[in-house]
């Protein structure tokens, strides 16, 4: 069967990785590529092993499917340009699909491209290093939402490169994305808080990273295997308010921001521990201790 054709606007880290995987598996024939600079589009075509670099959207060939993989802020203005490019042909090609891969935006940002079918497809994967993403993307999940014909085309396309596909309602897209932000970006912020606290205790960064590696990996593994209620250990899970009070005093004497984060996350731990074994009276003591003192 002849593969469907794909145009990519913004073949950066994500766009060129998907382009190459789809091209290699014969899912899509990558056709026209338009980046901010023509030089970058040519480099993307070389990485993908197919596609013609175009200076502007108007110069791109007709295609079954259009991916807008620019930075999030450029998606809305680019959608208007794609709409203008598609307009003369869409009455004949109402099966055209236009999609983006942002986690934060819904498919509606592509509404100017209608009557093309529109969708968003967010891979829960970090494309920091495209060369290694070629090997590691398979097994990642992709959240899809949008018009049914676009969602079903993308379901097939992502499944063909080994991704797990889930569909979400458009009104839940922001919450879905916040869920990933908690686990991915906030975990990074947590590790930074941990390193800053170790530094205040005189432990060098390189040693702190070495110390953290096994416990962070083991904690992640325990959480994913047992669920957070069972994985939680430490002073809050044990209801040990004296230890919590001593740590809070030490942090307050060191850095008010670290103490504030310790309080907020500590309260989230108390809520979690209450769903486990923590008795109500111990939870109440810890909640009082961790709440911001009234000025
Ligand atoms: N990176 C990730 O891990 C990841 C994960 C999930 C989803 N996403 C989503 O994927 C999308 C792309 O992210 P990315 O990390 O791949 O971005 P990126 O590496 O910065 O690539 C963005 C590409 O868009 C091009 N571009 C920007 N403005 C343009 C314009 N006005 N016209 C044409 N091309 C334009 C850039 O061209 P030049 O090369 O010429 O500058 C670049 O090639 C975003 O929506 C992001 O939210 C990314």
From 71, 130, 176, mutation site for ligand 1 pocket: most ligand atoms within 8 A of C-beta: 71
- Are residues 234 and 119 located together in one domain of the fold? no
Picking from 152, 172, 192, the residue at the C-terminal end of a domain is: 172
Same domain for 45 and 8, yes or no, is yes
190-237: pLDDT as tens digits: 999 999 999 999 999 999 999 999 999 999 999 999 999 999 999 999
Q: Whose CA is nearest to atom 30 of ligand 1?
A: 36
CA–centroid distance, residue 37 to ligand 1 (Å): 12
End-to-end CA distance of the chain: 71
Burial class (CB in 10 A: 0-12, 13-18, 19+), 45: buried
User: Are 187 and 134 part of one and the same domain?
Assistant: no
For residue 295, tell me if it sits in a domain.
no
Identify the residues whose C-beta falls under 6 Å from ligand 1: 9-15, 34-37, 40, 69-72, 74, 78, 100-103, 122-123, 125-127
Domain-embedded: residue 112: yes
Q: What is the pLDDT of residue 93?
A: 56
pTM, 2 dp: 0.84
Is 113 contained in some domain? yes
Flag whether 26 is in a domain: yes
Predicted local confidence at residue 184, as pLDDT: 87
Kindly state whether residue 150 falls inside one of the protein's structural domains: yes
Q: Which of 122, 120, 117, 116 is nearest to 107 (CA)?
A: 120
Residue 134: which domain range?
Answer: 4-172
45 and 165 inside one domain? yes
- 202 and 155 in one domain? no
- Considering the domain architecture, whether residues 140 and 164 belong to the same structural domain is answered as yes
- Do 203 and 118 reside in the same domain of the chain? no
Ligand 1 midpoint to CA 10 (Å): 5
So what's the pLDDT on residue 26?
Answer: 97
Please identify every stretch of the chain with a pLDDT value under 70, giving residue numbers as ranges. 1, 89-94
Rounded distance from Cα 30 to ligand 1 centre (Å):
17
Distance 153 CA to ligand 1 centre (A): 22
CATH code: domain of residue 105: 3.40.50.720
Mutation to probe ligand 1, out of 7, 9, 12 (largest number of atoms < 8 A from CB): 12
Indicate whether 52 and 163 sit together in one domain. Answer: yes
* Model pLDDT, residue 295: 73
**82 & 146 share domain:** yes
The residue from 137, 172, 207 where one domain ends is 172
> 172, 196, 222: which is the final residue of a domain?
172
Residue 178 domain-assigned?
no
Per DSSP, which regions of the chain are E strands? 4-9, 28-34, 52-53, 65-68, 97-100, 117-123, 141-146, 164-167
Tell me, yes or no, whether 155 and 21 share the same domain: yes
pLDDT of residue 292: 83
Domain count, the chain: 2
pLDDT tens for 27-40 read: 999 999 999 999 99
Same domain, 152 and 12: yes
Residues 12 and 110 in one domain: yes
Q: What is the pLDDT of residue 291?
A: 97
């Amino acid at each position: 069967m002849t593969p469907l054709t794909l145009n990519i606007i913004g073949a950066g880290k994500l766009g060129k990785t998907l382009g190459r995987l789809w091209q290699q598996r014969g899912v899509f024939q990558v056709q026209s590529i338009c980046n901010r600079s023509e030089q970058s589009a040519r480099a993307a075509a070389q990485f993908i092993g197919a596609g013609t670099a175009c200076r502007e959207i108007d110069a791109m060939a007709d295609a079954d499917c259009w991916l807008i993989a620019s930075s999030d802020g450029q998606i809305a203005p680019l959608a208007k340009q794609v709409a203008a490019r598609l307009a003369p042909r869409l009455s004949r090609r109402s099966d055209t699909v236009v999609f983006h891969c942002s986690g934060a935006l819904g498919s509606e940002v592509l509404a100017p491209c209608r009557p093309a079918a529109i969708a968003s497809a967010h891979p829960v994967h970090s494309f920091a290093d495209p060369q290694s993403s070629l090997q590691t993307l398979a097994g990642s999940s992709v959240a899809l939402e949008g018009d049914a014909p676009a969602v079903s085309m993308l379901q097939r396309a992502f499944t063909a490169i080994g991704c797990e596909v889930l569909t979400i309602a458009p009104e839940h897209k922001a919450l879905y994305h916040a869920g990933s932000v908690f686990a991915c970006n906030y975990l990074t912020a947590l590790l930074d808080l941990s390193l800053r606290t170790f530094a205040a205790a005189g432990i060098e960064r390189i040693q702190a990273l070495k110390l953290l590696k096994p416990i962070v990996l083991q904690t992640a593994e325990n959480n994913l295997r047992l669920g957070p209620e069972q994985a939680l250990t430490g002073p809050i899970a044990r209801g040990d308010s004296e230890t919590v009070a001593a740590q809070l005093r030490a942090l307050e004497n060191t850095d008010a921001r670290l103490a504030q984060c310790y309080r907020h996350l500590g309260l989230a731990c108390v809520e979690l521990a209450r769903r486990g074994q923590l008795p109500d009276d111990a939870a109440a003591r810890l909640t009082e201790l961790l709440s911001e003192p009234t000025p």
